Structure 1
């Protein structure tokens, strides 16, 4: 079935490649969301924006909550 299966599976090869590429991208995004250094940079950027007056205290709280929600992997409503 090796050669026969390869011939029949050949048309599906591009689909398999696209699916695998999507899986790799999803894994990388999830890693970036949970990487402690990246989370710290986002929180520091939020803090800096609040300190310079670019965002309000309420916006800062919402942004921090969103970063922590993404980091923990929970879905918000």
Structure 2
């Protein structure tokens, strides 16, 4: 019966592969978006841009709020437990 099921679902194999690739891309994008190291680098770039005159103080503050907001937000797929620790959701 397993052989029959494998043959019957064979046309769906490309779709399953595509879904696996999409999940991997989403996972990597989330990892980079919520990575504290990447956020620190972005904050340093903002500071450098403000010092060089490419960015106003107001623009820098707005961008900093956005970056820090991402860090304090709960990433998708993570659930906050009652004691404040993150867990898989």
Task: State the TM-score, normalizing by the size of structure 2.
Answer: 0.75
Q: Which residue of 2 aligns with 1:30?
A: 30
Scaled by the length of structure 1, the TM-score of the pair is: 0.85
Structure 2 unaligned spans of 5+: 75-89
Match of 2:58 in 1: 58
What's the C-alpha RMSD, in Å, of the aligned pairs?
A: 1.4
Equivalence for 1:49: 49
- How far is the alpha carbon of 1:37 from its aligned partner? 1.3
Task: Pick the structure with more helix per residue.
Answer: 1
Misfit runs of 4+, over 4 Å:
none
Q: Unaligned regions of 5+ residues in structure 1, if any?
A: none
